[in-house]
Amino acid sequence: MFLLAARERPRANGNRQALFESLTRDSYRQAYGLAFRLTGNAAEAEDLVQESFLRAYRFFHRYDESLPFTSWLYRIMTNTHIDLIRRKGRLKTTSLSLEGPEGSATWDLPTAESSPEQRLIEASMEEPVQKALLSMTAEFRTAVLLADVEGMAYEEVAEIMGTSVGTVRSRIHRGRKQIREHLLKHSPKAYKRYQDEL
Amino acid sequence: MNCKAAQQRLSAYVDRELTPDEQFALRAHLSECTQCREEEQELRVVKALLGRTLTPEPSPDFAERLVAQLRQEQRPIAHVPFSRRWMPALGYGVAAAAAMLLTLAYINPSRKAGANRDLSNMPNVAFEVQRDQTFRSSGDPLGGAPVLSAVYGR
């Protein structure tokens, strides 16, 4: 029995590497979307994703497969985001990589449900929303993004952020209010147009 | 329920995250309070706005760059000299001391140990860190506590 176990171990390690790579390919897109919202630009988003997956790989032996991989990865990404802010200082709020007639060339195409007018109005809110997000603390920004963009329940957000549901509730509530105040202050016309269109 | 208590619960109400009792009490308040109903509506607007944002896409070659970087990480440990892998600026002696301090820092329970219960195994980390020798980042990614900065007094 012992010899069998010893022979299997190197192969199991290779399988773990292949498994991790496959998980990476399945999840990197969604991870990048969140990373972009957390950092506000493509370069830092790439840094955050790369650093997060590297840390995830180094600690892969501690991943419990009964949990969804993205939850575990997002936990690492959340901590890495805060870590990188501490190391690099404040986030760059001046350079947003938004170019092109309706926004960045790297944006996904909007869903077919919106009319062309709606899509224009929604596109005009992209940059103001991102600026509002960047003006918040990492904790508030993360909580709001996980709940409202990633669509997670409070319990899952709490698990990812390593905090209580009560704290999540408070962060989401105050975060949304901060976003609203920022939009009213910096983009009142666009925000009103969006409210009317809803 | 007064307005202050109601407003604190409005986001959770919009997200259907209130307990049945809270929801009952809040609904009763909302039926009689225009101000709170307006606040509820404003929160719904923000939530809808965030939900309708477009998903940023990475550049087309990002996946390959990411995988390539991970594969570099997977290179066998034996091929890389010890001093270059651990801390470029430090010698063996200081690196060994750092490893010992890291171990001690992990063995001491951190404030966040309770919150980490589900996603990390704190007692095993010290031995895994020593054994891995690939640990370069400044903290346990699952715990969020910057251990190395504490060690170097930053």
> What is the mean pLDDT of the segment spanning B68-96?
62
Q: Does A198 contact B120 at a Cβ distance shorter than 8 Å?
A: no
Size of interface A-B (CB pairs under 8 A): 173
Contact A54, B69 (CB under 8 A): yes
Contact A154, A169 (CB under 8 A): yes
Summarize pLDDT for A148-162 with one digit per residue, the tens. 999 999 999 999 999
> What is the mean pLDDT of the segment spanning B126-149?
45
Residue in this structure with the two tokens 């259907």, named with its chain if needed? B16
Summarize pLDDT for A97-119 with one digit per residue, the tens. 444 333 443 444 444 456 777 77
Q: Whose CA is closest to A150, among A139, A141, A138?
A: A141
Interface list for A 87-116 with B (CB within 8 A): 87, 103-104, 106-110, 114
Q: Which chain A residues are closer than 8 Å to B61 by Cβ? A: none
pLDDT given at position A120: 77
Q: Which two tokens stand for residue B32?
A: 């009689």
Contact B111, A162 (CB under 8 A): no
Summarize pLDDT for A31-59 with one digit per residue, the tens. 999 999 999 999 999 999 999 999 999 99
Q: Across chain A, what does the average pLDDT equal? A: 84
pLDDT given at position B15: 98
pLDDT given at position A65: 84
Q: Does B119 contact A64 at a Cβ distance shorter than 8 Å?
A: yes
Task: Name the least confident of A8-22, A132-146, B31-45, B79-93.
Answer: B79-93
Q: Does B58 contact A195 at a Cβ distance shorter than 8 Å?
A: no
Residues with Cβ within 8 Å of A175's Cβ and at least 6 positions away in sequence, in order, are A136, A140, A141, A143, A144
pLDDT given at position B73: 84
Q: Which chain B residues are closer than 8 Å to A46 by Cβ? A: 58, 62
pLDDT given at position B46: 97
Q: Report residue A184's pLDDT band, with 50, 70 and 90 as the boundaries.
A: very high
Q: Report residue B145's pLDDT band, with 50, 70 and 90 as the boundaries.
A: very low
Q: Does A79 contact B55 at a Cβ distance shorter than 8 Å?
A: no
